[in-house]
């Protein structure tokens, strides 16, 4: 049987680069494809947000060892970086340490088994995987791989406003609706405006705290928080009991903003339609209630883009779009961020040999992902690819305990408490 040395890693974010470091440490030769202009391109898009995890929880073990060989100076373990700092002080140096193995401005547009579509059984355990890429100048190329690790995340696929998972009628293409925690350094877009924040995950709490501070400084700014659930008490999380102290502080700050009346709360609101009233937007609920806004910030979570994986065989849970073996462990109706049991290749395996989806994307629509979990995932997967079954089967991670960080119905907010999106709180 032919041996193809490449292990393709899709995405040069925190988990993808950690996977490459793990593979390299085991003597394998990873090739990393990143669609963005730089490593950590998605993290760069929420550069202004401070994480609620410390540096000690944001550096992958294999990455730390690789960086140490370059003379890298690790930031203060107890510090809380912003997205910009995480990218500049860790992700970009890590990509440089990986050198020519990282290919920027290279978008993966498809993965398949060489010479076989998903229907064909023969040869799936002997033929390599084909990874189709398109460069920034439009050139297409196929790379053959022994294995593929998809760590592309979910940042590019935010959930819509619509309460049924579809975009609300009239929602698409409205510039006054944003789907990320906004950067408030330029106040003109929000000062004196009626702002509606939709969602109840950590992203929404982060936005509420930031807007509450903003409104104190800019008269006339009015803030409404619209949630699909019937009460918001559980959205505030574990508070002082949260072992990630800054995450607990985030919930406490949000609770204070609600209790002092700085934030108007509208519960049980599921957006069915977006109308216009002059320059204003009107969110119409499925019960015909109406919310008028100048700006809407929709922070209703993310979902995986599986379109370019249509020719490989994935075994996905019908609800969460996560691997079937993993889904019961991360169901947010049952688990919080800290009660999700650490897991590895056993739970991440698919019917397609050598195909792994890791990181935030592996969680599908569940909002309970932690960067530490992603690092443990890729440690186990890299061990399995290298043939070290014992290491692949071990659990080498203890997660911090927390309060509730899930939702109900559609899951509101990425809740990636230490990874892959703007879900973090200011430093306590």
Do 185 and 124 lie in one domain? The reply is no
Q: Which of 36, 127, 106 is nearest to 312 (CA)?
A: 127
- For residue 291, the enclosing domain spans 177-298
Same domain assignment for residues 133 and 19: yes
- φ/ψ of 331, rounded to 5, equals -55, 115
Q: Are residues 294 and 308 in the same domain?
A: no
Whether residues 141 and 203 fall in one domain:
no
Residue 403 falls inside a structural domain: no
In a domain, 261, yes or no: yes
Domain boundary, last residue among 263, 298, 333: 298
Q: What is the CATH classification number for the domain harbouring 191?
A: 3.50.50.60
Domain shared by 212 and 142, yes or no: no
Same domain, 210 and 327: no
Q: In whole angstroms, what is the distance from residue 251 CA to residue 241 CA?
A: 11
Stated as kind and residue range, the H or E segment containing 264 is strand 264-266
The closest of 236, 238, 237, 243 to 400, measured between CA atoms, is 243
Residue 39 shares a structural domain with residue 146: yes
Angle formed by the axes of helices 61-68 and 14-25, nearest 10°: 70
For residues 288, 292, 298 and 300, what is the CA-based torsion angle, rounded to 10 degrees?
-30
**Structural domains counted in the chain:** 2
**Considering 298, 313, 337, which residue would you say is the last residue of a domain?**
298
Cα gap 356→424, rounded to integer Å:
27
Of the three residues 269, 298, 327, the one that is the final residue of a domain is 298
- 238 and 220 part of one domain: yes
Residues 213 and 340 in one domain: no
Does residue 428 lie within any of the structural domains? no
Residue 407 lies in a domain: no
Judgement on whether residues 188 and 317 belong to the same structural domain of the protein: no
Q: What's the confidence (pLDDT) of residue 395?
A: 85
Instruction: With respect to residue 421, please indicate whether it lies within any of the assigned structural domains.
Output: no
| 171 located within any domain | no
Q: Same domain for 203 and 325? A: no
Neighbours of 234 (CB within 10 A): 15
Full strand arrangement of the beta sheet holding 290-293: 271-277, 280-285, 290-293
Instruction: Of 146, 186, 11, give the one whose Cα is nearest residue 91.
Output: 11
Q: Do 91 and 227 sit in the same domain of this protein?
A: no
| N- to C-terminal Cα separation, the chain | 56
Q: What does pTM read for this prediction?
A: 0.88
pLDDT tens for each residue of 319-365: 999 999 999 988 877 765 556 677 999 999 999 999 999 999 999 99
In a domain, 417, yes or no: no
Q: What is the reported pLDDT for 426?
A: 30
- List of the chain residues with pLDDT < 70: 1-5, 233-248, 335-340, 399-428
pLDDT of residue 260: 86
DSSP state of 406: -
Alpha carbons 144 and 244: distance in angstroms, whole number:
41
Assigned domain for 412 exists: no
Is the distance from CB of 216 to CB of 331 less than 8 angstroms?
no
How far, CA to CA in Å, does 319 sit from each of 163, 298, 365, 366? 16, 22, 8, 9
């Amino acid at each position: 049987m032919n041996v193809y040395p490449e292990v393709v890693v899709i995405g040069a974010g925190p988990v993808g680069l950690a996977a490459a470091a793990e593979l390299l440490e085991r003597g394998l030769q990873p090739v990393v494809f990143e669609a963005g202009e730089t490593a950590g391109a998605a993290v760069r898009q929420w550069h202004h947000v401070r994480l609620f995890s410390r540096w000690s929880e944001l550096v992958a073990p294999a990455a730390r060892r690789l960086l140490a060989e370059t003379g890298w100076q690790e930031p203060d373990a107890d510090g809380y970086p912003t997205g910009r700092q995480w990218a500049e002080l860790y992700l970009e140096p890590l990509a440089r340490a990986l050198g020519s193995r990282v290919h920027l401005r290279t978008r993966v547009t498809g993965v398949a088994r060489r010479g076989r579509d998903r229907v064909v059984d023969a040869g799936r355990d002997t033929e390599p995987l084909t990874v189709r890429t398109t460069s920034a100048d439009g050139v297409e190329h196929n790379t053959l791989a022994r294995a593929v690790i998809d760590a592309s995340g979910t940042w590019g696929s935010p959930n819509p406003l619509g309460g049924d998972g579809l975009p609300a009628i009239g929602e698409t293409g409205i510039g006054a609706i944003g789907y990320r925690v906004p950067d408030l350094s330029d106040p003109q877009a929000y000062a004196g405006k009626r702002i509606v924040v939709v969602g109840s995950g950590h992203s929404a709490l982060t936005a509420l705290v930031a807007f509450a501070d903003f409104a104190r400084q800019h008269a006339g700014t009015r803030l409404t928080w619209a949630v699909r659930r019937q009460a918001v008490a559980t959205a505030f999380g574990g508070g002082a009991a949260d072992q990630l102290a800054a995450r607990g502080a985030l919930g406490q700050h949000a609770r204070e903003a609600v209790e002092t009346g700085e934030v108007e709360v509208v519960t049980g609101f599921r957006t069915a339609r977006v109308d216009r009233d002059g320059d204003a937007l009107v969110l119409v609920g499925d019960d015909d209630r109406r919310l008028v806004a100048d700006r809407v910030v929709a922070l209703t979570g993310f979902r995986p883009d599986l379109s370019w994986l249509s020719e490989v065989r994935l075994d996905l849970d019908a609800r969460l779009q996560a691997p079937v073996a993993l889904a019961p462990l991360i169901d947010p109706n049952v688990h919080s961020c800290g009660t999700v049991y650490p897991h590895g290749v056993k739970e991440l395996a698919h019917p397609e040999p050598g195909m792994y989806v890791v990181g935030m994307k592996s969680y599908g629509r569940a909002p309970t992902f932690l960067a530490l979990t992603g690092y443990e995932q890729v440690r186990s997967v890299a061990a399995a690819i290298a043939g070290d079954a014992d290491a692949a089967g071990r659990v080498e991670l203890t997660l911090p305990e927390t309060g509730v960080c899930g939702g109900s119905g559609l899951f509101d907010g990425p809740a990636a408490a230490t990874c892959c999106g703007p879900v973090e709180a200011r430093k306590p």
